[in-house]
Each structure stands twice: as structure tokens, then as C-alpha cells.
Amino acid sequence: MADLIEVAGLSRKDLARHGQGLAKFGAVGVFNVATEFTVFGLMIAAGVTPVVANAFGFLCANGQSYLANASFTFRENGKGAPLSLRAYARFFAAHCAALGVSTTFLIALGPAIGLFEAKALAVGVSFVLNYAMSAAFVFGRQASTQGK
């Protein structure tokens, strides 16, 4: 996990400073995971392949995640983070790493431990990476001034 933090440009001191943000990000994430698992499960039940179902579940949860995190997690001075297509593109790109992790877990571990168990493991692994990327490259002060 330390490597992920360093790759994202956050030190342990930065991570400690972001404790409240991590908690809010986690709360939003619960709803995002529920959306993603619901879409994934419905598509699996409809006979869609696991990789396609995973990607579609990710896309549905990603839009919801951007709006909720901008409004709740990364608020400053009582206002939500500014919304823009440019910021969403950064958010989407940053979170595609999580889709890669999730898909890799499904392919590598799904047959051995089950699809839903592999997906649950992927959520845990990608949590810190997603937050760090969102804080540093999407909603951070530097990122929000670039989006204007």
C-alpha cells in the first residue's frame, strides 16, 4: 500500500491529513459499490460475460461517484468542488486503474474463489488508490484550478 501512496504523490503525512476525506470517500464508496454490485449481478443473471458486466457496473457507479465525491467528499468552504467535463475526464481516467484491478481480480481469482468474492477483494485493494488519485489529480487545489 505504501507504494500506491507514493505513486499517487501522497506521503504518509498527507494521508494522515486526509483522514476525514478518506472517511467521506469510504461512505460515498459504500453507495458506489452497492450500485456496481447490483448492476454486475443483474447483468451476470442476464447471461452477460463477467468482464462486460464488470465494465458496465463500473461505468454506472463512476458517474454517481464523481457527483457524490464532488458534492460531499471534496467540499471546500461549504461548497462542493466545481463540476466540469475536464474534471470528470480526470476522475474517469484515474478510476480506470481500479477497473483494471477489478478485472484482473475477476479473471485471476474468480474461478478459484468466486466472482463476487474476487470483486470484493478488488474493492479493498483499489480504495486507497482511488482516493489518492482523486485527491491529487481531480479535486485537489491544483487540479480544480486547471479545470477552470
Sorted by where each begins, the domain ranges of the chain are 2-146
For the cut 80, the answer to whether the pLDDT of residue 147 exceeds it is: no
pTM over the 0.75 mark? no
- CB of 120 within 8 A of CB of 105? no
- CB of 96 within 8 A of CB of 58? no
pLDDT tens-digit readout, 42-60? 999 999 999 899 889 989 9
- CB of 103 within 8 A of CB of 54? yes
- CB of 125 within 8 A of CB of 108? no
pLDDT tens-digit readout, 86-108? 999 999 998 888 778 778 888 99
Residue 78 CA to residue 47 CA, distance in Å, equals: 45
